[in-house]
Amino acid sequence: MAERILDVKNLQAGYGSVQILHGIDIYVEKGEFVTIIGPNGCGKSTFIKAIFGLCTFYNGDVEHNGEDVAGWRTDQLVRRGISYVPQVDNVFPSLTVAENLQMGGNRLSARVLNERIDDSLEMFPDLISRMHDLAASLSGGQRQMLAISRALISKPKFLLLDEPTAALSPLFQQQIIDRIDALRQSGITVLIVEQNARLSLSRSDRGYVFASGKVVHTGKAADILEDPEIGEYFLGGTGE
Ligand SMILES: Nc1ncnc2c1ncn2[C@@H]1O[C@H](COP(=O)(O)OP(=O)(O)O)[C@@H](O)[C@H]1O
Ligand SMILES: [Mg+2]
């Protein structure tokens, strides 16, 4: 059996006393690209946040590379090689592009930080000419590129992305998914929540469908894409 980078069983989590996730089972194998889809408000962002130590953990098993990390703090998870790109507010608009990238590695020495920034810009060269501009001046697509670049500064092995193509033009959606796919080709395991489900599933190995804080369906991405019932509800009809 392939090694699991993430193995979640019966995860129950929420915000304070408000329970949102009611027993989630999900696994991700090393090297996989896995997409979570589901209607607004069903707990997709909450799940990603729960994995990254940003929610209230109640119960369940969360293993990362076979190690029990349930309830761990975010900084501990980052040190284990997990990184996260939030759905909103994922760049500091009043800082420059360079400063945003530096924030991704504020514990690193200047030399290592600069190397990491150079590495991450290799994946997103569009940002090179914008390094001294404020993040506020970037287009939506460039902001997402910056947010992902920043998440790469910690050299993650496992990248969690929350709706990285939301509110982007189809051209930028495609570009962002292409770059994420390239990251996966480079050896980073990818778990993504996507509104543009068809596009993301087309690059995924497997998918999960959430509803009301539970997993209601899972399978190979190709099968989910062809499932008429799921297509009708989540994929925008039968596609082009
Ligand atoms: N910080 C929060 N405190 C309390 N409830 C929240 C918070 N964030 C989200 N929720 C609630 O959790 C539920 C799931 O939200 P979310 O995980 O963002 O859904 P999705 O990402 O699938 O659209 C929603 O009912 C939402 O109102
Ligand atoms: Mg969300």
The answer to whether the CB of 53 is under 6 A from ligand 1 is no
pLDDT at 80: 96
Give the phi and the psi of residue 216 in degrees, each rounded to 5: -105, -10
The answer to whether the CB of 212 is under 6 A from ligand 1 is no
The answer to whether the CB of 41 is under 6 A from ligand 1 is yes
Q: What is the CATH number of domain 4-92+154-234?
A: 3.40.50.300
**Cα 111 to ligand 1 centroid, rounded to whole Å:** 39
Burial class (CB in 10 A: 0-12, 13-18, 19+), 94: exposed
* Ligand closest to the CA atom of residue 49: 1
pLDDT at 102: 95
- pLDDT, mean of each 10-residue run, the chain (240 residues): 93 98 98 96 97 96 97 95 93 96 89 95 94 96 95 96 93 94 96 91 96 96 89 58
Give the Cα separation of 33 and 222 in Å (integer): 12
* Ligand closest to the CA atom of residue 163: 2
Alpha-helical runs (H) found in the chain: 44-51, 74-79, 97-103, 110-123, 140-152, 170-185, 197-203, 221-226, 228-234
Domain residue ranges in the chain: 4-92+154-234
Which residue CA neighbors atom 7 of ligand 1 most closely? 15
Give the phi and the psi of residue 231 in degrees, each rounded to 5: -55, -45
pTM: predicted TM-score of the whole model, two decimal places: 0.94
Give the Cα separation of 23 and 193 in Å (integer): 18
